[in-house]
Structure 1
Amino acid sequence: MRASRLLSLLLLLQNRGRMSAAQLAGELGVTARTVYRDVEALAAAGVPIYAEQGPTGGYQLMDGYRTRLTGMTSDEAESLFLTGMPQPAAELGLGAQVAAAELKLMAALPTPYRDASMRIRQRFHLDTRGWYREPDAVPHLLAVAEALWQDQTIEVRYRRWAPRPGEVTRRLHPLGLVLKAGVWYLIAARRGQPRTYRVSAIVDLRPLPETVTRPEDFDLAAFWASHVDRYERAETDEVAVVRLTPSGVTALPDVLGPKAARLALRTLTPADPDGWRNATIPMENVAHTAATLLRLGPNVQALAPTQLVTHLTDAIQTMARLYPA
Structure 2
Amino acid sequence: MGNDSSLATELAESITVRPTIFPRAGYGVLAFLMFLNALFSIFNNFLVIAVTLKNPQLRNPINIFIFNVSFSDLMMSLCGTTIVIATNYHGYFFLGRKFCIFQGFAVNYFGIVSLWSLTILAYERYNVVCQPLGTLQMSTKRGYQLLGFIWIFCLFWAVVPLFGWSSYGPEGVQTSCSIGWEERSWSNYSYLITYFLSCFFIPVTIIGFSYSNVIRSLHGLNKKVEQMGGKCNPEEEFRAVIMVLVMVVAFLICWLPYTIFALTVVFKPSLNISPLAATIPTYLSKTSPVYNPIIYIFLNKQFRDCAVEFITCGHVVLTNPEEEEVSTSAAPAERKTPSKLNRVTPV
TM-score bracket, normalised by the shorter chain, equals under 0.3
Q: Indicate the structure with greater helix content.
A: 2
TM-score by length of structure 2 reads: 0.23
Q: Indicate the structure with greater strand content.
A: 1
Q: Which structure is larger by alpha-carbon Rg, 1 or 2? A: 1
TM-score by length of structure 1 reads: 0.24
